[in-house]
Amino acid sequence: MRLLMGLGCASIVCLFLAGEAAAQSGTRYIPPPPPQTKGEAPAYLTIRVPADAKLWIDSAPTRQTGTHRRFVTPPLSTSYRYSYRVKATWKANGKEVTREKKVYVQGGQRVFVDMLREPLKQPPEKTSSKEKPKG
């Protein structure tokens, strides 16, 4: 919305016509990114999943397919850490597999997320039924 507010009517018409021409030619028109302010840049995420996996970022389903899915964030501050919740589901050996990860990014950063790698298991807390003697 911020991008469209800064454009005049002539620019919006040009964007629309360029999009229509691209659609008719079978190619996809990708408008240029909005101007960045100092200290901001997009972050780039590459997420590795099985080819048939369903993938969500912050509860929003994605439409890409394949084993390596690439995403570009809006411009983010280069001095602040942001997080996205990534969830993937797929079938493996007849069973549903679900993995969720919290991914941290900063503006200008490239992040690789491997959803195929199982999360590290935390060792169980040490509990003892015996109490230490006082004294």
Q: What is the pLDDT of residues 94-126, one digit of tens each?
A: 999 999 999 999 999 999 999 998 877 766 666
Domain count of the fold of the chain: 2
- Judge whether residue 22 has pLDDT over 50: no
Q: pTM above 0.85?
A: no
Q: 40 with 28, same domain?
A: no
Average predicted confidence (pLDDT) for the chain: 77
Q: 27 with 46, same domain?
A: no
Taking residues 12-32, report their average pLDDT.
45
CATH number at residue 71: 2.60.40
Contacts of residue 90, defined as CB under 8 A and 6 or more positions apart, other chains included, come to 49, 50, 52, 53, 54, 96, 97
Q: How far apart are the C-alpha atoms of 64 and 58, rounded to whole Å?
A: 15
Q: 40 with 100, same domain?
A: yes
Give residue 52's domain range.
Answer: 35-114
Question: How would residue 31 be classed by pLDDT, with cut points 50, 70 and 90?
Answer: low
Question: Residue 134: inside a domain, yes or no?
Answer: no
Q: What is the CA radius of gyration of the chain?
A: 22
